[in-house]
Amino acid sequence: MSKFIVAGITQLETIVKVKEIPIKYEPYTGERDTIYIAAGGDAFNESLALKWLGDEVEFMTVVGKNEDLNILNPSTRAVTLSTEYVLPIIKETPMEVLLYDSRRKAQRFEDLKDIRNAMYDMMLVDPLVPSCDMMVLSNVNFCRPFISRAVDFNKKLAVKIHSFKREKEIYNEDFLKNANILYFNDNSIDEEPYEFVKEMSDKYDPEIIVLGQGEQGVLIYDKYKDFTAHYNAVNSKQIVSTAGAGNALFACFLHYFLKTSDSKIAIHKALLFASNYIGYMGTSNGFMTEDELEHWDNLIWNPRNAM
């Protein structure tokens, strides 16, 4: 079991399954079991995934002043996240509407409200940093002070870059320069994947880069093992919802990377973890325990089971 500090965005999500992206205009569409509303966001989903895998997680985020924190822990879910460090300090909780289709294509409408003005109370963070194994951040303003804490205490720092855009790269440089592990999603990246990863590795010198590529899988760079490789997505279930799949994959990768120090093992496990996750509706469902993941890993890929 590893100890994580996870800080970043939590939002209320409305997830809608559509026939295809881009959507064709129709004045009315009525389909059962295609709309789902719940809590989500980078930090929330990553924290849940890590808890399911057996890790100790300090979940740090901000929500609206009048938000009912019970929405973060529905009674039907087996795993509970502590809300001790969920600070209701902004006007409203960020929101997102996500449309997705069966090909893993998605279209997002995001309203981050006034989260850019939020300031997290770092006095809550400082006592927890020495004992953590890794800090996992979103590239949101209130997470910037966390960077210096990770650096000062020589802690591994993993950053999920939310909607990377070249014109805003300069605003993310403190995250990019200090991260040991970087995660990008290719939804907002038009460049050739290998060239993009090479440029990021040359420019910022992280240990690991993971580029999520949706239905195509992932591209991973490992500085110390000296390789860049593409891994195909794993298709173990019928796709129900792809919302939050990148968060699930990233969290599982971090869990196994800390456990094994082997990026190839970690990405292998993470792809299987994500494939199970997308077989469920909602960004907080579909996670596996480590025992369940190891069982499926052995069942699917152990050659003796194919005899």
CATH number at residue 288: 3.40.1190.20
Element (H, E) at 274: helix 263-277
| CA distances for 121 relative to 56, 175, 185, 219, angstroms | 21, 19, 29, 36
Report the length, in residues, of the chain.
Answer: 307
Q: Hey, what are 64's tokens? A: 């609206």
Please state, in angstroms and rounded to a whole number, the distance separating the CA atoms of residues 179 and 287.
26
Q: Is residue 280 part of a domain?
A: yes
Instruction: Give domain status of residue 205, yes or no.
Output: yes
How confident is the model over 262-287, as a mean pLDDT? 80
In a domain, residue 224? The reply is: yes
Average pLDDT over all residues of the chain: 91
pLDDT of 174 strictly over 60: yes
Closest to 212 measured CA to CA, from 265, 262, 271, 258: 271
Report residue 113's pLDDT band, with 50, 70 and 90 as the boundaries: very high
Mean per-residue pLDDT, 130-139: 98
Residue type, 48: L
Where helices occur in 97-244 by DSSP H, the ranges are 144-152, 173-178, 193-204
C-alpha angle 95/100/66, rounded to 5°? 15
Domain membership of residue 82 (yes or no) is yes
The one-character DSSP state at 173 is H
Quote the pLDDT of residue 307.
40
Whether 38 and 121 have beta carbons less than 8 Å apart is answered as no
Q: Per residue in 79-109, pLDDT tens?
A: 999 999 999 999 999 999 999 887 777 888 9
In the chain, where do the E strands start and end?
3-7, 11-17, 35-40, 56-64, 86-90, 95-100, 106-111, 134-138, 156-160, 181-185, 208-212, 218-222, 227-231
Domain that holds residue 124: 3-24+34-306
Asked if the structure places residue 181 within a domain, the reply is: yes
SS3 165: coil
Tally of domains in the chain: 1
Confidence of residue 240 (pLDDT cuts 50, 70, 90): low
Name the phi and psi angles at 218, rounded to 5: -145, 155
Residue 168 lies in a domain: yes
* CA-closest candidate to residue 94, choices 142, 162, 41: 41
Say if 29 falls within a structural domain.
Answer: no
